[in-house]
Amino acid sequence: MPVIEWIDEFNIGIECIDSQHRQLVSMINNLYEVIRSNKDRHPAIKKSLDALIDYINVHFSLEQNFMDRICYPKRFEHVEIHKWISIQVVSLCDSYEKDKNSLLAEELFEFLSDWFVKHIKSEDLLIKSFLDQTKTQGY
Ligand SMILES: [Fe+2]
Ligand SMILES: [Fe+2]
């Protein structure tokens, strides 16, 4: 389970979104550290997950407001994807809460890190392309 390393390609060039993405990377990586620690880790995992879920919601709201503001044409699909991710994360967290199984915590970490990298590359970067396109068209 490798932690996420921030690479330049993750930058979409909108500072408020980029800084939240960096914060998400640090929180997802923190979850990994907590899962790996040997001590009584379940309260720490729970704390880390609660903070992450809150922050994911904060981030999705900001990104959604931004997409509305610039009238991004794919914003409705993008919002649906955010909703799907939130549902998956909450359901994985619930499963973990029920039996405090470390494997489920690892599964959660894998889901989050995988989601983060794929979502930025396949969806969030399209916002940047749209902005670049509108700039070159002189809007
Ligand atoms: Fe997004
Ligand atoms: Fe995002």
Span 86-115, pLDDT tens digits: 999 999 898 888 888 778 888 889 999 999
Tell me which residue range forms the domain holding 128. Answer: 14-136
Q: Is residue 6 part of a domain?
A: no
Q: Is residue 93 part of a domain?
A: yes
Number of domains in the chain: 1
Token duo for residue 70:
């610039």
Q: Whole-model pTM?
A: 0.91
Q: How far does residue 17's CA lie from ligand 2's centre (Å)?
A: 7
CATH number of the CATH domain containing 85: 1.20.120.50
Q: Is residue 25 part of a domain?
A: yes
Query: Exposed, middle or buried by CB within 10 Å (0-12, 13-18, 19+), for 21?
Result: buried
Q: CB of 102 within 8 A of CB of 17?
A: no
Measured from the alpha carbon of residue 81, the closest ligand is 1
Q: CB of 89 within 8 A of CB of 112?
A: yes
Measured from the alpha carbon of residue 20, the closest ligand is 2
Q: Quick one: residue 138, left, alpha or beta (phi over 0 = left, psi -120 to 50 = alpha)?
A: left
Q: Is residue 5 part of a domain?
A: no
Q: Is residue 4 part of a domain?
A: no
CB-based neighbours (< 5 A) of ligand 2, an ion: 63, 124
Q: How far does residue 99's CA lie from ligand 1's centre (Å)?
A: 30
Q: Is residue 7 part of a domain?
A: no
